[in-house]
Amino acid sequence: MKIKNTATPLGCVLVSLGMYQHKRAGDLDSARQEMRDVLAAEVVPHYRAVAQGQLNLLDDAP
């Protein structure tokens, strides 16, 4: 029996935390860049969709 590791990749979590720190500080350009960097490297469709969703929310932010 194979056990699957379903945990979120550590890099994705750390980048997302950085994105939220930038967002809280009002630096939306840096927050957007964090998510663009995730999208450039991420190959798992689910995680790409999550990152794209976060980027879309940032693009809709004032």
* pLDDT for the residue numbered 38: 84
* pLDDT for the residue numbered 2: 41
* pLDDT for the residue numbered 39: 87
Torsion angle (degrees, nearest 10) of CA 55, 34, 38, 57 = -10
* pLDDT for the residue numbered 25: 92
* pLDDT for the residue numbered 15: 63
List, for residues 3-60, the tens digit of each pLDDT value: 455 555 655 665 667 888 888 899 999 989 988 988 888 888 888 888 898 889 888 8
* pLDDT for the residue numbered 1: 41
The three-state DSSP-derived secondary structure of the chain is CCCCCCCCCHHHHHHHHHHHHHHHCCCHHHHHHHHHHHHHHCCCHHHHHHHHHHHHHHHHCC
